[in-house]
Structure 1
């Protein structure tokens, strides 16, 4: 029998994956609000500074294609724990790098290490949680991601103003070690995992089999576009707000990431709505909110911009929660590979759009960033329509 909502095992699973998601995203995005500091320290452009995130997400995405298959043979818990510990130690080392090139090398290695948890966590939930509780469980995991991303950015921004960005990054690494310990202590062992011998030579055919599923292709496209929009907006909002007429400090810019709390609520709330009313309907709502939030940031008022960021975060995390939980239901077989491909496109979207958005920002300013996001939302709505048509017989019935 799978884990049901309201039981002790459900609470332990939720706590463990909340801590794991918190650590993963705090480590991954701790440098994002510090890009202006990196530009100044190493005398580089904003687009070059964005590589500190892009190279990490690229290496993370590529590694995810292999980690899912390895976990089929080695188990889920051990790989996820090792991932959190290794990535945290690398973060501490990153803080003392004397050059931007060396920092990038460590960030590549950190991306490899970080791949272990997100590549497996969704598969673990699909295997262990009953379907009726899956949307809520996935929402709790995504909420850990959002709080981790928020905390990483806020803490790094605050500590940078006080002691400098190097001290800030090392502190995030220590928090990652603590989160890894919590994860290891409380996560239940897999009860529905069946070990399968997995050879790397067989990974490509398994991945290719998932790419022939039209529903999964739509979900992979949505992952690319959602994350591309999200990272682009938050990569460059710091450059906008630290410049005239706002001239905000790094700690104030970091504190704006408290809007991620909107994502903590929306991922669970919209996950429940999707379980009740159907994923496609709620996904369209999330995309509409994402676009509205991006458009609000065009206003010159700081408060309207902050409200726009909150609405944007609400729409993004809710949409991602629905799309990611849908992958496990749309896959016919090999859940690890299906989830790994979703995350591959998700983080490739981060890398490609994050750096490409920098070019638009440099040439067209903030209007170029918002214009790109608007285009992404239009394509996402088209993919959602195709997904709805092809999944009509699989859509949950209204209760």
Structure 2
């Protein structure tokens, strides 16, 4: 009896890791070529960053309706449709005739991608149970970070030789390969009884997902931490290729190797949660992220690189804790809605924070951008601390 369970668990981990690689490679593919887009279409950093923010904003808007849809049609069909459609749209991006058309395609791609992160955590709980979800969520987020790194590096290294059109094509092919792995590996979810009044159930689930303060705290962490993280990386290409560092786009794209640190931290943070508890692990990870931001301030390339390594590791650890906390605390009848709400705030932070950070950088420079992102991270620490401490005190009593 145990062998099939272990086999299914491995298949689940492989499938969600591949889906994460595909989705996140495609979602952030334009990020390393933002300077080239700005030069091609005569844009400032804020205008160029829309190539990222439009997709993440559309994802944020679509994620709750798609999560509600998954309550009706099931999680697996939604995930399968998501990875296939997002890869197909990725193949269309390089042939977009204008920047406006590219932004429209990116918005559609964001909607398509929403199907995976919006329901993945709920699918994992249903497939593996609460006791097995932590390791699987870690594998999924590790796949997300690998995808983010692989997509950005593929685009960055291809841009010099192939231009941004060729760079986006390379990433689209990568996304298509990993989406096919998901299609063949993803096991069907356990059978469920058909829901009565599915629309009413979906709306009730949204209310339940918004009723628990501990869940609201995780949504705040997602919003603020993701906003800070994307803001730093949206401006990274401009800082690294500009004065005084003056790197080529291909060399500057090596900063995305920092995502390897995210893969390690997200996959291992479960041990810290087991030892210190979710609250201390979350606050510690956010503090590490803020320290990493501060390390990027000096005009010294080695120190800047260390800063990106530290902030990336800290961010993905914080994300893993908050995402797993959401999945564990969500009411049984609202797992999809809680997962969807977390994903909504996560990508709303990416869209708003990423654009706001690019505007701050364009008008005030790297120091002010760093100050703003540290302030967002401190606010996230305060929110989760205030909300979670009473729960810990009550549990102790």
**Equivalences for 1:210-289 in 2 at 5 Å?**
210-289=209-288
Q: 1:116 to 1:4 in 2, by over 3 A?
A: farther
Cα distance in structure 1, aligned partners of 2:5 and 2:307? 35
User: 1:358 offset after TM fit, Å?
Assistant: 1.7
Cα distance in structure 1, aligned partners of 2:3 and 2:346? 29
Q: Which runs of 5+ in 2 are unaligned?
A: none
Q: 1:66 to 1:372 in 2, by over 3 A?
A: same
Q: 1:350 to 1:185 in 2, by over 3 A?
A: same
| Contact preservation (8 Å) 1:157, 1:254 | yes
Q: Which residue of 2 aligns with 1:336?
A: 336
Secondary structure (helix, strand or coil) at the match of 1:246 reads coil
Q: Which residue of 1 aligns with 2:67?
A: 68
| Contact preservation (8 Å) 1:220, 1:342 | yes
Cα distance in structure 2, aligned partners of 1:390 and 1:127? 29
Cα distance in structure 2, aligned partners of 1:234 and 1:218? 24
Encode CA deviations 1:190-247: one digit per residue, 9 max, x unaligned. 1264442565576444323322221111111111011101100000011001001111
User: 1:373 offset after TM fit, Å?
Assistant: 1.1
**Equivalences for 1:4-43 in 2 at 5 Å?**
7-43=6-42
**Equivalences for 1:267-346 in 2 at 5 Å?**
267-332=266-331, 333-346=333-346
Q: Structure 1 or 2: larger helix share?
A: 2
Higher alpha-carbon deviation: 6-15 or 221-230? 6-15
Cα distance in structure 2, aligned partners of 1:198 and 1:268? 38
Higher alpha-carbon deviation: 268-277 or 387-396? 387-396
Higher alpha-carbon deviation: 157-166 or 191-200? 191-200
Q: Which residue of 2 aligns with 1:191?
A: 190
| Contact preservation (8 Å) 1:70, 1:198 | no
User: 1:266 offset after TM fit, Å?
Assistant: 0.2
| Contact preservation (8 Å) 2:208, 2:334 | no
Q: 1:194 to 1:23 in 2, by over 3 A?
A: farther
Secondary structure (helix, strand or coil) at the match of 2:88 reads helix
Q: 1:198 to 1:93 in 2, by over 3 A?
A: farther
| Contact preservation (8 Å) 1:225, 1:376 | yes
Asked whether 1:139 is paired with 2:138, we answer yes
Across the aligned residues of Structure 1 and Structure 2, the Cα RMSD in angstroms comes to 2.0
Task: Calculate the TM-score normalised by the size of structure 1.
Answer: 0.94
Cα distance in structure 2, aligned partners of 1:395 and 1:84? 41
| Contact preservation (8 Å) 2:205, 2:334 | yes
User: 1:64 offset after TM fit, Å?
Assistant: 0.7
Secondary structure (helix, strand or coil) at the match of 2:346 reads helix
Cα distance in structure 1, aligned partners of 2:209 and 2:196? 19
The number of residue pairs the alignment matches comes to 395
Cα distance in structure 2, aligned partners of 1:139 and 1:309? 21
Cα distance in structure 2, aligned partners of 1:233 and 1:198? 44
Cα distance in structure 2, aligned partners of 1:167 and 1:279? 43
Task: Calculate the TM-score normalised by the size of structure 2.
Answer: 0.95
Q: Which residue of 2 aligns with 1:357?
A: 357
| Contact preservation (8 Å) 1:27, 1:88 | yes
